[in-house]
Amino acid sequence: MANNSRHTRTTSEEALAYHMEPHPGKFEVIASKPMTTQRDLSLAYSPGVAVPVQAIADQPETAYDYTTKGNMVAVISNGTAILGMGNLGALASKPVMEGKAVLFKRFADVNAIDIELDSEDPEEIINAVKLMAPSFGGINLEDIKAPECFVIEQRLKEIMDIPVFHDDQHGTAVICAAGLINALELSGKKIEDVRIVLNGAGAAGIACLELLKSMGARHENCILCDTKGVIYQGRTEGMNQWKSAHAVVTEARTLEDAMKGADVFLGVSVKGAVTPDMVESMAENPVIFAMANPDPEITPEEAHAVRADAIVATGRSDYPNQVNNVLGFPYLFRGALDIHARAINDEMKIACAEALARLAREDVPDEVAAAYGRKLQFGRDYIIPTPFDPRLIHVVPPAVAKAGMDTGAARRPIIDMDGYIQSLKARMDPTAAILQGMHARARNSQARMIFAEGDDPRVLRAAVAWQRGGMGQALVVGREHDVKEKLEAAGLGDAVREIAVVNAANSRHQEAYQNFLYARLQRQGMDREDTNRLANRDRHVFAALMLAHGHGDGLVTGATRKSAHVLDQMGQVFDLRPEDGVVGITAVLHKGRIVLIGDTLVHEWPEADDLADIATRGAAVGRGLGLEPRVAFLSFSNFGHPLSERAIKMAKAPTVLDARKVDFEYEGEMTVDVALNIEAAARYPFSRLTGPANILVMPARHSASISVKLMQEMAGATVIGPILTGVSKPIQICSTSSTVNDILNMAAISAGGLGAIT
């Protein structure tokens, strides 16, 4: 069961800052072709662009070859049903639609752009969407209220030759169907036999029933309810043609009546609509999908209190079995776009549901289970895959594409399905999955995180985000009044009651800290007064003493002072010298690739044995991030040419690893292009690396640091680290240019124990 005390909470200020900084909105348009020279511009626009124009005019289907149409979806809304907030208008829906657009990109590498239509007239919306059809490969309708959404979608499907998909209806239906397939298997029941009660006769509810009926559920076994009760044959109050299609002959008039003896309850209604008594009256092994958001019709705790045999799903991420639309729409469109589909039909939706159900029954990769902090195994608490399962991208779209081809919806069928699956695997940027796994592991550990620099607003905002994000307890080193003032200035004044402020001046542990420090440093030129002053006045030393004495579980610092200074101060408490086996590994993430670079922090001029240590530490960090390590010892030469004294140690390092008999791939010395580029590496067929290196060991700290900063500044790479490894306790040191997110990432690494010796 989920721990309700760990529910994520964000403030209005945090939400607004997220959408405003560093640039307003959630995405930007980036050119995918060179745009630097006069020749580039001549090809991109006039006169070169005339050639594909004429080609498309002659053969319209070539628009998929020469433009973005084949990988572009329009996310369209009029803002009449925004996220359960109601009719707030087209402009107010824009943040939601931008969010939907970036989810398409994040999960399935589908380009999407949001379009907000300022009209509540279905005919105007239908005409507007019809007129913009040439620009897109598919249309995703969103947050349009019922019953207008039914009219709009149906008409657009009839008149357009690209997929039109209303996610509020069909997205929920597909994920619901996937979960129900597995829930019924676990309960030993068949869809054609079960009695289904659905509460909520809006767009999602009606779509759920229609899809389940197309999968075999019998009309007479399905009871639909709305705010006025059961929709039965003969009812006239509050009816429309879409509800009437699901009216049944029944004596039941209330939801309570309908639930008696029911096998399945599906809720897309409101919090508290279902009582424990209703659950108790259901059949054996009842299936309860309480999908109301943000709070379900009945919580899993309440349902299981009266029915231990119940299989329960909700729309919440903090409970098992989340019915999450992001499992469906990105992959449905990915499969549909890749066959240039004319539509997304029922067969394609069912194929999506069945693929999701099959995936949940398969063995879950260790990295997925590790990211969620628990064993994921098909059963009552795991009937739907997790949204961050990396297999979704190459499992679901092929199933959708095949169904589209089998039913005649494809303009361009996929000939080589194995090749298509491999191309899907290559589409995914590992960055988000790695960061998500890192944060999920941290959330599971619930660490007491020490934030050493409580006088910095960035650190305070990160500490509040840590606390409110359900990551654990935030311990901020600082003066109470100063922390309070800075939080108030940041619009987070109420957070001072949530985080724990630790002031060295009044710490009850100060005497123990001072004694510890004096015992450690008394033979290193420090007298009692020196060590007392350090423990009292230096926040880095004080924070390290907290960690050393178990008064916190992890430590993050470095946002306000240069890393060399912070490392020296931390070294007063912990052994952080090169000879202690400490190494700094920096993760660089760019354009779907991740490499780890070392040593960026500790070893000034490592020799062969040190380089081998750096490689070993880098491999451990890589595995902690879900990578299979391939280490390259870098130089300006390849395997002895050109011969140079400076390259000799890089050539010797692999022989050190040979003697150690390590369990990861390594090779060197080599240039960076040979390490990372398959074609360049092919010139050296004797290389022991089976693929591009993902751990780069540099000849010296300065070359490592220069490489990281160059990638960050010139290429816009995401940089995490340096990750301090080989320390007895989890300490991580940020850079002075760190953002709030950077500090949070380093705290997550610390909480996950990625660099600590276990």
Burial of 712 (0-12, 13-18, 19+ CB in 10 A): middle
The lowest-confidence range among 33-47, 96-110, 427-441, 558-572 is: 427-441
Tens of pLDDT along 510-534? Answer: 999 999 999 998 888 888 888 898 8
Cβ contact 539:547 at 8 Å? no
Nearest to 174 by CA among 223, 210, 145: 210
Q: Are strands 447-451 and 472-477 parallel, antiparallel or unpaired?
A: parallel
pLDDT of residue 145: 92
In this structure, what DSSP letter does residue 389 have?
A: -
- Is the pLDDT at 309 greater than 60? The verdict is yes
Which backbone phi and psi does 632 adopt, to 5 degrees? -120, 130
CA 724 to chain CA mean position, Å: 24
- Is the pLDDT at 130 greater than 80? The verdict is yes
pLDDT of residue 120: 96
Paired with 598 in beta bridges are 585, 697
- Token pair 């619901």 is found at 176
Contacts of 121 (CB under 8 A, 6+ apart): none
Other Cβ atoms less than 10 A from the Cβ of 273: the count is: 20
pLDDT of residue 165: 94
Q: What is the 3-state secondary structure (H, E, C) of 477-529?
A: ECCHHHHHHHHHHCCCHHHHHCCEEECHHHCCCHHHHHHHHHHHHCCCCCCHH
pLDDT of residue 3: 35
Which backbone phi and psi does 119 adopt, to 5 degrees? -160, 145
- Is the pLDDT at 708 greater than 80? The verdict is yes
Mean pLDDT for 163-171 is 92
- Is the pLDDT at 384 greater than 70? The verdict is yes
**Residue spans of beta strands (DSSP E) within 193-253:** 196-199, 222-226, 229-230
In this structure, what DSSP letter does residue 364 have?
A: P
Give how far Cα 169 sits from Cα of 120, 146, 228, 255, 730, Å: 19, 10, 21, 22, 46
Give how far Cα 631 sits from Cα of 182, 548, 670, Å: 42, 33, 11
Q: Is 448 helix (H, G, I), strand (E, B) or coil?
A: strand
Tens of pLDDT along 414-454? Answer: 999 999 998 898 777 666 667 777 888 888 889 999 999 99
The residues annotated with a catalytic role in the active site are 45, 100
- Token pair 């169907």 is found at 177
Sheet holding 311-314, edge to edge: 229-230, 222-226, 196-199, 264-267, 287-290, 311-314
What is the model's pTM? 0.77
Tens of pLDDT along 712-726? Answer: 888 888 888 788 988
Region at 470 (left for phi over 0; alpha for psi -120 to 50; beta for the rest): left
- Is the pLDDT at 6 greater than 50? The verdict is no
Task: Band the pLDDT of 376: cuts 50, 70, 90.
Answer: confident
The C-alpha atoms of residue 460 and residue 578 are separated, in whole angstroms, by 32
Tens of pLDDT along 221-230? Answer: 999 999 999 9
The C-alpha atoms of residue 169 and residue 211 are separated, in whole angstroms, by 10
Mean pLDDT for 535-559 is 92
Other Cβ atoms less than 10 A from the Cβ of 532: the count is: 18
The C-alpha atoms of residue 159 and residue 163 are separated, in whole angstroms, by 11
pLDDT of residue 737: 83
Tens of pLDDT along 95-116? Answer: 999 999 999 998 999 999 999 9
Length of the chain in terms of residues written: 758
The C-alpha atoms of residue 51 and residue 57 are separated, in whole angstroms, by 10
- Is the pLDDT at 2 greater than 50? The verdict is no
pLDDT of residue 623: 86
Mean pLDDT for 332-354 is 96
Q: Are strands 164-166 and 138-141 parallel, antiparallel or unpaired?
A: parallel
The C-alpha atoms of residue 643 and residue 648 are separated, in whole angstroms, by 8
Contacts of 193 (CB under 8 A, 6+ apart): 221
pLDDT of residue 338: 96
- Is the pLDDT at 10 greater than 80? The verdict is no
Here the tokens at position 748 are 């997550």
Tens of pLDDT along 248-257? Answer: 999 999 999 9
- Token pair 């019709």 is found at 297
